[in-house]
Structure 1
Amino acid sequence: MPAALPPELYYLSNFRTALVWVAGRYADLLTAEEQTFIAAFQQLPWQSQALLVRMIMRRGSHFRLSKLDYPEIGDCLVAAQPALELGWLSADALLATPEIADLLRKDELLAHLPLANKRVAQKKAGLVEQLLTQDLPPQSFARWCPALDDRLLSLLVGELCDRLRLMFFGNLAQDWSEFVLADLGIFRYEAVDISPQSRGFQSRQDVDDYLYVRGLRVRFEEGDAVETIVPALLAFSSSNPYLCSRQSRLLFQIAQHEEKRGELESALTLYQRSTHGQARWRQIRVLESLNRYTEAYEQASSFSQQPGSDEERQRLERALTRLGRKLGRPVPKQPKVTSESRLELALAVPERGGVEIAVRNHLHSDDAPVHYLENTLLCSLFGLLCWEAIFAPLPGAFFHPFHTGPVDLYSPEFYPRRHLLFEQCLARLEQPDYPQRMLQRYREKNGIQSPFIVWALLDEALLQMALHCIPAQHLRACFSRMLQDLKANRAGMPDLIQFYPQQQRYRMIEVKGPGDRLQDNQKRWLAFAAQHGIAVDVCYVSWLAP
């Protein structure tokens, strides 16, 4: 086996790297079967390794030999022999009717399978329906199509490799193509010093538990009856916070499904068992729908003592007002509504682009440029200033070298775990050289994947303009608010920003077209901006008659 592989075998090189990573970090968790696979794979001829990886990276487990055409490998049947001998591939796997139909073209279905009605004009789906009605037994590819000059190779180690992929990535949402994108330079990732404690799974039970919860999710998404899924999900328990968060998210999604189909008692039970950030106020909504107003009021009063986010606070205030009026209870004092600074424009309907582009073009000038950036500018500035806090190598934050951001980014523990690190980052805004330091960070990290920075929209000139015009106290206030609830507060920011470099000031502009109105998260940002002296105009647009 060559120590180094030619460039066209990048996928094999990457797979080898993953196996070494898993073997080194999870040696104590691997089953005997997994250990045997890793050791035996390394002893295969490189052509056999390459063919296996090609098949592992493709969808499905059955492959016609005629479709396995890889010039760098050569004769794929020869390359397959060692894996066939090991039982990792099969040449005579039994195929059910849907499987053989998926492998054949329409003309091949007509030529090789027992169809009573072989109308050429009929679509392939109709032909498959004919086959399904015959209740044919599973057969090998050769038995299904004895006259077809082709062979079949079936991958038998797909599930095993999925488990290895799970241990490497910490999830099954990512696949081996992540390696390809990184290798080709399409994606670049921050180099995080990942500690042994940062692996996604601390025990074999964690691996099995992930697969168990994922299996329940797949069953739910495929339409299995909720009644067959929920008891198992409620009975699940784990000491791994990552797995508990996955359980909680699935409980919330099933609760939403139950609420939509009118199964309110079931939905209420599931919301009560979920720790999802929206589960508490949704409990109130379901209790109201059940006409259990007193219980809803008491629950909302309890939750409002310590709301989990600005969104929850806003929703609880509204619920208490509604319920208080129905029950004759005290109605909470309504917070003072922030009077918005209005800007009204009558514009010609643009030939292209939306209302935001029309307003941008109307207000833009060389001395006061306007940019359509929505949430991306402040988020990008936050990502630059707080880079090392975001990518801090804390236990459980990064499982592998291909993370865009930490695994716990949107968990309630994200900020508390890094509180001191973020305070150090924000304190830099008190130093006069913070613009230069952020500009240097931009140059060092440009293009590296980040959960906050949109590199395509942030060039150096825009960055310099923003740092010149936006005061440090405004940046600190905005970033502190974002950290209170990253998932919710990174959205809802005004559409446009206009810079006045000569006066070293700026304003933000929320654009509303005809019939549009402010959303709740936008109202929360407007109230925050008013509190901190950030200039924001709400621009209401009407269209001129043609």
Structure 2
Amino acid sequence: MDSTAALPQPAPLTDPLYYLRNFQAALGWIRQRYDDLLSDEARAFIDSFLSLPGHAQALLVRMIMRKGTLFRASRLRYPEIGETGQAMAPLIALGWVTENPPMTLAELFEQLTQPELRKVFGSRLPAGRKATQQAALEAEAGGPRPFSQWAPNLPEALFALEVKPLCDRLRLMFFGNLRQSWSEFVLAELGVFRYEQVAISRRSRAFSSPADIELALQLHACRLQLEQGLPASDLLPLLPSGEAGTSWLQLRRQRLLFHIGQQAEKESDLTTAASAYRQCQWPGARARYVRVLEVSGRQAAALALLQQALAAPESEAETQQLQRMRPRLQRYLGLPVQRAAAPQAPQQLVLNLPRPATPQSVELLVRDHLHSEATPVHYVENLLITGLFGLLCWEALFAPLPGAFFHPFHQGPADLLQPDFALRRKALLESALAELDDDRWRTTIRQRFADKHGVHNPFVAWGALDETLLEQALHCLPAAHLRLWFQRLLQDIRAHRAGMPDLIRFDLATRSYEMIEVKGPGDRLQDNQLRWLRFCSAHQMPVRVCYVSWAGADE
């Protein structure tokens, strides 16, 4: 297994070419771990890049790190690089950059300021915002043309970065996603982001074949088209097949398929929605399919699928949704109505408070109203219990398992939401939870809080967990309740790390606590909140729902 010393480390920011050193390190990492998956084009690019003069390498990386693919010469001036033309010449010779490329009217408007537009178009440019001006000129614009033809009276070179897609592919291979950018190196060096150092073996790769990389790129392109408003009926056929790819890529595909179904519902395209949900295995898709069948007038089919799902539900959330829909479908079909047993209602606390003079969170109002030195109250929502879990189970979360970590900038394991996440770490998680059987857990959590403070952990929100809150929680929370919370969290991390009560009140003298869900006037409990309240009540955990009304509201 490779040691953590082999990980590419951010270059010091005192080096004016720090960004180039970081890019070179990333290329070395890619070449070391993915040489067998590199295309001939990618391998040739890396070799040619490393043989370029330093100033040409630096200029290319500057362009790669910036948004878009079009750059004016006046905006490519960097003291550490020197004269732009000299640095650009080798890039143009390789075909990686094109000078004076064809560009559309929209691209021209992105490059020019209002004074420049007036200089180019003169009296033909109407008054108003850029979007209005561009729309007015579209009819006479024609097709793309070089910048020099668009703006002959603006004597400046414009360049197009032609290798951006290839560089994005390399970025995808390094990070396993296109959400992260090369700036991760800089943010890590600045200390803005701190990452757990995990030993990464060569087997721990984001991709195992060129087909995996292509699938990831196709999924990214589909997601961008969805965000740009492409109709769901046009997007669904473009979604790549679900027959290939790693498990985490398949999970990404299923999530995108679910979002396409949601978009189709918003567009009232029930045919496309049904098609998307029917083939989707993302949590919640089956319940949405039942709903689409119902709205489409296929109540019998909807009820049949609902009953099938209730016989083997995927989660508590699905059971809750389906039980809510079942009576309506049965009434429509003239069948005996089956209702779920009413759960035991949680205890209530009713407060009549003065309406705040300025808008303020009702949770904070209740916190301040109930708080005292002997019984401090904290607004924690989902952050305390998950934070304690993340601290206690740190070693299990950051275990260097194949496929969990494949670059130095992971905020958490890549398989966090995979169905087998807990199973793969069973022994490590059991070892961590076993500390709850004696007093070791308090020592471990305190030590991790001190040693790891600020290091990314998907369960720990450092800004919400200070030493005072931590010590009061360690003093008052029983280990048996922590075990129950943690075990439930591991059953369904995606669903169960949200919906916990808003407030926690500690009684320091009796070493006890209670959790309080706050609801302002007209607010109601959400499904995930109801599930957590029922869980706590079922295990005799002290929990109440606080309903707030405003004093004098009916006067």
Match of 2:102 among 77, 87, 94: 94
Aligned counterparts of 2:229 and 2:366: Cα–Cα separation in 1: 46
Match of 1:7 among 15, 37, 43: 15
Aligned counterparts of 2:441 and 2:455: Cα–Cα separation in 1: 21
What corresponds to 2:267 in structure 1?
261
Equivalent runs, 1:6-155 vs 2, <5 Å: 6-113=14-121, 117-119=124-126, 121-155=127-161
Decide whether the 8 Å contact of 2:231 with 2:264 is kept in 1.
no
Deviation at 1:240, TM superposition (A): 2.1
The one-letter code of the counterpart of 1:224 is: L
TM-score, normalised on structure 2?
Answer: 0.93
Aligned counterparts of 2:467 and 2:60: Cα–Cα separation in 1: 45
Aligned counterparts of 1:194 and 1:330: Cα–Cα separation in 2: 58
User: Residues 260 and 36 of structure 1: is their aligned pair in 2 closer, same or farther, counting only changes over 3 Å?
Assistant: same
Q: Percent identity?
A: 47
Deviation at 1:137, TM superposition (A): 4.0
1:448 aligns with 2:455: yes
What corresponds to 1:487 in structure 2?
494
The one-letter code of the counterpart of 2:175 is: F
Aligned counterparts of 2:511 and 2:53: Cα–Cα separation in 1: 66
Decide whether the 8 Å contact of 1:309 with 1:484 is kept in 2.
no
Q: Deviation digits for residues 432-477 of structure 1, max 9, x if unmatched?
A: 2210111001111110011110101111222111011000000000
User: Residues 399 and 472 of structure 1: is their aligned pair in 2 closer, same or farther, counting only changes over 3 Å?
Assistant: same
Aligned counterparts of 1:333 and 1:154: Cα–Cα separation in 2: 64
Q: Deviation digits for residues 146-189 of structure 1, max 9, x if unmatched?
A: 33232222211111100000101111121122222112110001
1:308 aligns with 2:314: yes
- Name which of structure 1's ranges 229-238 and 255-264 shifts more when overlaid on structure 2: 229-238
User: Residues 385 and 84 of structure 1: is their aligned pair in 2 closer, same or farther, counting only changes over 3 Å?
Assistant: same
Decide whether the 8 Å contact of 2:56 with 2:87 is kept in 1.
yes
Aligned counterparts of 2:129 and 2:274: Cα–Cα separation in 1: 46
The one-letter code of the counterpart of 1:102 is: E
Aligned counterparts of 1:37 and 1:265: Cα–Cα separation in 2: 45
- Name which of structure 1's ranges 386-395 and 219-228 shifts more when overlaid on structure 2: 219-228
- Name which of structure 1's ranges 284-293 and 53-62 shifts more when overlaid on structure 2: 284-293
Decide whether the 8 Å contact of 1:64 with 1:153 is kept in 2.
yes
1:274 aligns with 2:291: no
User: Residues 225 and 465 of structure 1: is their aligned pair in 2 closer, same or farther, counting only changes over 3 Å?
Assistant: closer
The one-letter code of the counterpart of 2:171 is: R
What corresponds to 1:229 in structure 2?
235
Aligned counterparts of 1:465 and 1:32: Cα–Cα separation in 2: 59
Q: Deviation digits for residues 101-142 of structure 1, max 9, x if unmatched?
A: 2211111112124x55245x4433333224321133433223
Deviation at 1:378, TM superposition (A): 0.6
For the residue of structure 1 that corresponds to 2:516, the secondary structure is strand
Aligned counterparts of 1:526 and 1:118: Cα–Cα separation in 2: 62
Aligned counterparts of 2:197 and 2:207: Cα–Cα separation in 1: 21
Aligned counterparts of 1:312 and 1:529: Cα–Cα separation in 2: 19
For the residue of structure 2 that corresponds to 1:127, the secondary structure is helix
Deviation at 1:350, TM superposition (A): 2.7
Equivalent runs, 1:252-401 vs 2, <5 Å: 252-329=258-335, 331-332=337-338, 334-352=340-358, 353-401=360-408
The one-letter code of the counterpart of 2:188 is: A
Task: Identify unmatched segments of 5+ residues in structure 1.
Answer: none
What corresponds to 1:420 in structure 2?
427
Aligned counterparts of 2:128 and 2:269: Cα–Cα separation in 1: 42
Deviation at 1:234, TM superposition (A): 6.5
1:538 aligns with 2:545: yes
Match of 2:506 among 491, 494, 499: 499
What corresponds to 2:196 in structure 1?
190
RMSD: 2.1
Decide whether the 8 Å contact of 1:338 with 1:526 is kept in 2.
no
Decide whether the 8 Å contact of 1:349 with 1:544 is kept in 2.
yes
Decide whether the 8 Å contact of 1:347 with 1:542 is kept in 2.
yes
For the residue of structure 1 that corresponds to 2:389, the secondary structure is helix
The one-letter code of the counterpart of 1:411 is: Q
For the residue of structure 2 that corresponds to 1:149, the secondary structure is coil
The one-letter code of the counterpart of 1:148 is: L
For the residue of structure 2 that corresponds to 1:28, the secondary structure is helix
Decide whether the 8 Å contact of 1:10 with 1:183 is kept in 2.
no
Deviation at 1:219, TM superposition (A): 3.0
- Name which of structure 1's ranges 414-423 and 18-27 shifts more when overlaid on structure 2: 414-423
User: Residues 410 and 330 of structure 1: is their aligned pair in 2 closer, same or farther, counting only changes over 3 Å?
Assistant: farther
Aligned counterparts of 2:310 and 2:424: Cα–Cα separation in 1: 25
- Name which of structure 1's ranges 180-189 and 125-134 shifts more when overlaid on structure 2: 125-134
Aligned counterparts of 1:226 and 1:261: Cα–Cα separation in 2: 8
Match of 1:208 among 200, 214, 225: 214
Task: Identify unmatched segments of 5+ residues in structure 2.
Answer: 1-10
Aligned counterparts of 2:86 and 2:159: Cα–Cα separation in 1: 12
For the residue of structure 2 that corresponds to 1:27, the secondary structure is helix
Decide whether the 8 Å contact of 2:105 with 2:144 is kept in 1.
yes
User: Residues 266 and 144 of structure 1: is their aligned pair in 2 closer, same or farther, counting only changes over 3 Å?
Assistant: closer
Match of 2:527 among 520, 524, 529: 520
1:469 aligns with 2:476: yes
For the residue of structure 1 that corresponds to 2:36, the secondary structure is coil
User: Residues 332 and 390 of structure 1: is their aligned pair in 2 closer, same or farther, counting only changes over 3 Å?
Assistant: farther
Aligned counterparts of 1:453 and 1:219: Cα–Cα separation in 2: 33
Deviation at 1:517, TM superposition (A): 1.7
User: Residues 137 and 514 of structure 1: is their aligned pair in 2 closer, same or farther, counting only changes over 3 Å?
Assistant: closer
Work out the number of aligned pairs and report it. 542
Aligned counterparts of 1:330 and 1:194: Cα–Cα separation in 2: 58
- Name which of structure 1's ranges 372-381 and 536-545 shifts more when overlaid on structure 2: 536-545
TM-score, normalised on structure 1?
Answer: 0.94
Decide whether the 8 Å contact of 2:193 with 2:456 is kept in 1.
yes
What corresponds to 1:403 in structure 2?
410
The one-letter code of the counterpart of 2:181 is: D
Q: Deviation digits for residues 58-102 of structure 1, max 9, x if unmatched?
A: 111111111123222222222222222222222222222222222
For the residue of structure 1 that corresponds to 2:399, the secondary structure is coil
Aligned counterparts of 1:285 and 1:126: Cα–Cα separation in 2: 42
User: Residues 156 and 441 of structure 1: is their aligned pair in 2 closer, same or farther, counting only changes over 3 Å?
Assistant: same
